[in-house]
């Protein structure tokens, strides 16, 4: 029985929650177009079920297409369901995307999308200089961001199969393939500020141009690509949507035996392990993930000494021990170990993905940690990198300096743990870190990182209110709003920008709309430092009191006692209030200064 059949049987048998889990497991492997459309119908039924609907996060996505979208929309909903989203779609009239974007009274803006997808193809690239055409698209992006305050997703242009100028086209700047390549490069260079580009040209090349472009579909129904192309496009678009929502996976946990190498370390010894090209190519792919900010961790059923030995004794290994933020090798079940790894890294388990070759271990994790994305690797190491890449679990809308330095942060954090263990008390440990913090209003150069924090921080976050880049930029210009971004560094390394606060002046009160802090700096008393700055901001604004709310979610329990611990008291309306006349600054083990890496 196929996974889809099992999911359907579970739903018919009255267990929709188990059916949803089974459907997600079935979607983890490639499915044909018709199978995916059947899965989409099942997902729609499950999403409407009272037992499943509360587990899904609603998101509004507008699709602005220049070609038929009827087959794309169910696939987008399906891939959203796979990642825990309830995707509500606005399907703009065929080919009317310019009018929809430029008309403030259009249905697009009445829909109030959180993200908008420009679903276009090479036929939409107007003739003329590539620079002028790129500027036209940039103006549409700007209008959409300014008016809807949403993230903009757009695919670049897939080159057609036909080349009237033959091999000369690649060298022509004003027509054909050469012009499209130049246009795509210009769009890529100008995206990034609230715009995420989907590389449709790459997808079409991976599938093969003649399989991607089927002229019969365009002639009969103005469908821009084949059914096989649609399934790949939908998966890529959903991954990009997750990225702009801050829901991409942050850490890849890998098995060792028959995953990073062939053989069993405990039986074969380091010298006897297979490190043929397939395994090394997979390791190099993981190394590249790490270099762009994805955390790597090990979870292996092994004796720890045996698991570490290949990294120490096989110099040809592409991955080294210091590439891993966490290393767990024992005989406990992997679901329990994954939860422990998440705690070690101050992550929630839904930020993890597991790559493992063992079907039994994969099934166990799917059952007991269903929020972890499981990539069950085939027996052929030559396919491992491609199997993982196909899932698009670590998609990013942009890469910040903090992302790139994340692995170095966890190496420094290991040194901090050693200092903590050696210290006689917490105050001595914190003082020995020689921490420095710099705080100031949000700045344009930090906007991408601030928006990333607002949309990704779940644990130490009073309200978990989200904001897009245009919305955040508007707050920066609002005279009644004060913003605060905070950087932290110590003698072991630079945490980067780790905290953001948004304050609103309302009469005699300064309201805390947003107060969040990266879980990487919990336990450093940075919240005390920020509190002192809030007092200064409130007094400078002429406020008599600070007022805030704690809005509980499934993940933000670490922030529950923040306000009462700082002297706030609940008023008759249930809000937390601090009268400034009686408030005093706190003594903190953090110096004011430029938050850069220590000497």
What are the pLDDT digits (tens) for 395-406? 987 665 555 555
Residue 598 has what pLDDT?
Answer: 26
Residues 461 and 448 reside in one and the same domain: yes
pLDDT at 43 over 80: yes
Dihedral sign for Cα 129, 130, 132, 137, please: positive
Higher pLDDT, 586 or 412: 586
- 36 and 185 assigned to the same domain: no
Residues 221 and 269 in one domain: no
Whether residues 60 and 129 share a domain: the answer is: yes
44 lies in the same domain as 60 = no
- Cα torsion for 484, 579, 526, 247, to the nearest 10°? -60
Q: Does 586 fall in a domain?
A: yes
The reply to whether 417 falls in a domain is: no
Is pLDDT of 190 > 60?
yes
How many angstroms separate the CA atoms of 549 and 502, rounded? 13
Looking at residue 52, the DSSP 8-state letter turns out to be T
> In terms of residue numbers, what domain contains 512?
424-592
CATH number for the domain that contains residue 572? 3.40.630.30
Is residue 599 situated within a structural domain?
A: no
Q: Is 238 a member of any domain?
A: yes
Segment 7-18 shows an average pLDDT of: 94
- CATH number for position 352: 3.40.50.1000
Q: Examine the domain organization and report whether 381 and 268 are in the same domain.
A: yes
In a domain, 160, yes or no: yes
In tens, the pLDDT along 275-334 reads: 999 999 999 999 999 999 999 999 999 999 999 999 999 999 999 999 999 999 999 999
Count up the domains in the chain and report the number.
Answer: 4
Burial level of 60, CB count in 10 A (0-12/13-18/19+)?
A: middle
33's CB contacts (< 8 A; 6+ apart) are 227, 228, 230, 231
- What is the arithmetic mean of pLDDT over 171-191? 92
pLDDT of residue 597: 30
**Per the domain annotation, does 396 fall within a domain?**
no
Q: Examine the domain organization and report whether 507 and 588 are in the same domain.
A: yes
- Residues 440 and 588 grouped into a single domain: yes
Coil, helix or strand at residue 484: strand
- Domain end marker among 21, 36, 52: 52
Mean pLDDT of 154-178: 92
- pLDDT grade for 372, boundaries at 50, 70 and 90: very high
- 247 pLDDT tier (thresholds 50, 70, 90): confident
CA dist., res. 316 & res. 318, Å (int):
6
pLDDT tens-digit readout, 79-119: 999 999 999 999 999 999 999 999 999 999 999 999 999 99
SS3 category, 294: coil
Q: What local confidence, expressed as pLDDT, does residue 405 receive?
A: 56
The CATH number of the domain holding residue 74 is 3.40.50.1110
What is the per-residue pLDDT for 596? 37
- The H-assigned helical ranges of 395-552 are 401-404, 406-422, 426-433, 447-456, 469-477, 526-540
Inside any domain, residue 401: no
Q: Is 342 found in the same domain as 224? A: no
Residue pair 556/464 in contact by the 8 Å Cβ criterion: yes
What is the pTM (predicted TM-score) of this model? 0.79
Give the pLDDT score at 335: 94
pLDDT in tens, 199-216: 999 999 999 999 999 999
353, 453: one domain: no
Mean pLDDT over the full length of the chain: 91
Which residues are CB-contacts of 547 (< 8 A; sequence separation ≥ 6)? 506, 509, 510, 511, 512, 575, 576, 577, 578
Same domain, residue pair 314 and 184: no
The verdict on residue 408 lying in a domain is no
Comparing 295 with 409, the larger pLDDT belongs to: 295
Query: Of 213, 244, 275, which residue constitutes the final position of a domain?
Result: 244
Domain boundary among 205, 220, 244: 244
Band the pLDDT of 422: cuts 50, 70, 90.
low
- Same-domain pairing of 13 and 145: no
């Amino acid at each position: 029985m196929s996974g889809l059949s099992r999911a359907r049987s579970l739903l018919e048998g009255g267990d929709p929650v188990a059916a949803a889990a089974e459907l997600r497991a079935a979607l983890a492997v490639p499915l044909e177009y018709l199978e995916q459309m059947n899965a989409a119908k099942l997902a729609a039924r499950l999403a409407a079920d009272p037992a499943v609907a509360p587990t899904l996060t609603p998101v509004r996505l507008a699709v602005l297409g220049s070609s038929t979208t009827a087959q794309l929309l169910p696939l987008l909903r399906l891939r959203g369901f796979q990642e825990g989203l309830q995707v509500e779609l606005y399907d703009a009239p065929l080919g009317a995307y310019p009018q929809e974007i430029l008309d403030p009274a259009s249905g697009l803006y009445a829909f109030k999308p959180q993200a908008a997808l420009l679903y276009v193809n090479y036929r939409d690239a107007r003739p003329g200089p590539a620079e002028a055409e790129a500027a036209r698209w940039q103006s549409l992006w700007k209008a959409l961001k300014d008016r809807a305050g949403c993230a903009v997703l757009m695919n670049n242009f897939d080159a057609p199969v036909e080349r009237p100028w033959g091999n000369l086209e690649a060298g022509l700047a004003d027509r054909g393939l050469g012009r499209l390549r130049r246009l795509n490069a210009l769009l890529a260079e100008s995206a990034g500020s609230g715009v995420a580009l989907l590389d449709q040209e790459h997808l079409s090349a991976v599938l093969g141009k003649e399989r991607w472009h089927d002229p019969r579909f365009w002639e009969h129904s103005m469908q821009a690509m084949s059914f096989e192309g649609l399934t790949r496009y939908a998966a890529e678009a959903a991954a990009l949507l997750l990225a702009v929502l801050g829901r991409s996976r942050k850490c890849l946990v890998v098995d060792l035996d028959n995953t990073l190498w062939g053989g069993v370390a405990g039986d074969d010894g380091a010298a006897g392990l297979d490190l043929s090209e397939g395994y090394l190519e997979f390791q190099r792919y993981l190394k590249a993930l790490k270099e762009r900010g994805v955390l790597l961790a090990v979870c292996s059923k092994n004796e720890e000494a045996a698991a570490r030995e290949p990294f120490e004794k096989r110099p040809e290994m592409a991955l080294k021990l210091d590439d891993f933020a966490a290393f767990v090798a024992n005989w406990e079940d992997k679901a329990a170990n994954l939860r422990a790894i998440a705690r070690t890294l101050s992550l929630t388990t839904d930020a993890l993905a597991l790559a493992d070759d063992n079907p039994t271990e994969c099934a166990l994790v799917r059952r007991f940690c269903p929020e972890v994305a499981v990539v069950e690797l085939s027996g052929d190491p030559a396919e491992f990198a491609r199997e993982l890449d196909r899932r698009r679990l670590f998609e990013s809308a942009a890469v910040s300096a903090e992302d790139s330095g994340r692995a170095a942060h966890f190496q420094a954090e290991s040194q901090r743990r050693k200092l903590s263990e050696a210290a006689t008390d917490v105050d001595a440990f914190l003082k020995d870190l020689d921490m420095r913090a710099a705080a100031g209003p949000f700045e344009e150069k930090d906007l991408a990182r601030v928006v990333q924090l607002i949309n990704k921080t779940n644990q130490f976050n009073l309200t978990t209110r989200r904001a897009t880049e245009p919305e955040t930029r508007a707050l920066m210009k609002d005279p009644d709003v004060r913003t605060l971004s905070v950087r932290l560094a110590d003698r072991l390394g630079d945490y980067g920008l780790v905290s953001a606060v948004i304050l609103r002046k309302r009469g005699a009160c300064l309201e805390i709309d947003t107060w969040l802090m990266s879980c990487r700096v919990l336990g450093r008393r940075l919240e005390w430092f920020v509190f002192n700055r809030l007092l200064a901001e409130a007094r400078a604004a002429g406020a008599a009191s600070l007022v805030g709310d704690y809005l509980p979610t499934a993940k933000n329990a670490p922030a529950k006692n923040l306000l009462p611990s700082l002297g706030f008291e609940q008023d008759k309306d249930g809000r937390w209030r601090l009268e400034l006349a009686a408030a005093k600054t706190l003594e903190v083990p953090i110096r004011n200064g430029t938050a850069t890496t220590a000497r």
